[in-house]
Chains A and B, each alone.
Chain A
């Protein structure tokens, strides 16, 4: 995974935050939503 990469895919989030199975159920959706919201916001301001 590139250190410079700002927005992460589902697989990259699991790797970056070292999410266990339980966390992949409860935490991953929150992280994915935050990624997507901020990505859309940044894209909208460029």
Chain B
């Protein structure tokens, strides 16, 4: 099979899964971070982070050469130069070259009413200047700083897309892009970007009505943010955070209504969502079942069998493969785990093989184990 035929087959297996048909085989959706990839390729972290023009293609090519995937699988979502121009406090490069995300507060507790009245204005006028120190200035300088940051952002994003397209052709990858857009569940946005993890948990106890109203107010902003690029087999990436840390009743009342509205509205506009179901959502499976049919859900922790039984006839399941095992187990044990997950999750279709999360650094796994697992699923998980 030449690379063109391979690409057609790979695109077809993704298309079949997304359409609810049983594909020829289980697709492998590789997702390795740029940082992990730089280390694996043996290149200088700091230099490769700053100089993506010189390094991104070289680094990604090594990953494509060595790790099986049915789609281009190197992700690069955080661009340090852009954050430096903005004077970011929420994304900083550490001395090791890894991007760090310190806990920051963009909205004070007594500013909820301002946010609820006009979330967009509040973000522009109050939140951004706190998170990005170089936007804490007069409107003209703020606009120029934003323009410089966007210039870098679009250039970096363009490079990722260009290299992705080039290597997709070279390696015969299928068309599948589950990061064609990105946004957050509304309450996660309020937590992650505005109030911080500790504060939001206190707010939920002390002023739940404000938290609920803030999530409702920001939902249209998240819908607009999530509109994806028009790509084949695409999805909008939504990483989920807060629900596992909330009481079930609070999650049902404060987290899920606006989250479901976001996914429903995007589906109504013709856009599929790719949920990264972080931590353990097993107590919320019935609520997840109610989401639009064909939503992709990549689970971190939980019970794969229960998940298949509860939502597998409606949604597309991914994840559950424990990254931690790739560090400590033997190659045979790692492959056996992949077999077990495929046996549990693949019957009937609606399954894409992924890890439970991306390894952040090379030290997180034994790369030979990951190669063996991807290779095994790619070559053996046939229907």
Mark A residues whose CB is within 8 Å of B: 3-4, 6-7, 17, 22-23, 26-27, 30-31, 33-35, 37-38, 41-42
Tell me if B50 counts as interface (CB < 8 A to partner A): yes
Mark B residues whose CB is within 8 Å of A: 46-47, 50-51, 80-81, 84-85, 137, 140-141, 144, 147-149, 151-152
Query: In whole Å, how far is B127's beta carbon from the nearest beta carbon of chain A?
Result: 22
Distance between Cα atoms of A23 and B81 in the complex (Å): 10
Distance between Cα atoms of A37 and B151 in the complex (Å): 8
B50 in contact with A38 (CB, 8 Å): no
Name the contact of A26 in the complex, choosing from B47, B144, B149, B152 (C-beta under 8 A): B47
Name the contact of B46 in the complex, choosing from A7, A17, A22, A31 (C-beta under 8 A): A22
Name the contact of A34 in the complex, choosing from B46, B51, B141, B148 (C-beta under 8 A): B148
List 17 contacting pairs A-B, 8 Å CB cutoff, sorted by A.
A6-B140, A7-B144, A17-B84, A22-B46, A22-B47, A23-B50, A26-B46, A26-B47, A27-B80, A27-B81, A27-B84, A30-B50, A31-B81, A34-B151, A37-B151, A38-B151, A42-B147
A30 in contact with B144 (CB, 8 Å): no
B141 in contact with A6 (CB, 8 Å): yes
Q: Which residue of A lies closest to B147 (CB)?
A: A38
Chain B facing A: main interface SS:
helix
B51 in contact with A26 (CB, 8 Å): yes
Name the contact of A31 in the complex, choosing from B47, B85, B140, B144 (C-beta under 8 A): B85
Q: What 19 new A-B contacts, CB under 8 Å, besides A31-B81, A31-B148, A41-B147?
A: A4-B141, A6-B140, A6-B144, A26-B46, A26-B50, A27-B50, A27-B80, A27-B84, A30-B81, A31-B85, A34-B85, A34-B148, A34-B151, A35-B148, A37-B148, A38-B144, A38-B151, A42-B144, A42-B147
Q: Which residue of B lies closest to A16 (CB)?
A: B134
Distance between Cα atoms of A7 and B145 in the complex (Å): 9
Q: Which residue of A lies closest to B84 (CB)?
A: A17
Kindly list chain A residues whose C-beta atoms are within 8 Å of the C-beta of B51. Answer: 26
A30 in contact with B140 (CB, 8 Å): no
Kindly list chain B residues whose C-beta atoms are within 8 Å of the C-beta of A37. Answer: 148, 151
Kindly list chain B residues whose C-beta atoms are within 8 Å of the C-beta of A23. Answer: 50
Kindly list chain A residues whose C-beta atoms are within 8 Å of the C-beta of B149. Answer: 34
Query: In whole Å, how far is B261's beta carbon from the nearest beta carbon of chain A?
Result: 37
Distance between Cα atoms of A34 and B140 in the complex (Å): 16
B84 in contact with A38 (CB, 8 Å): no
Q: Which residue of A lies closest to B148 (CB)?
A: A34
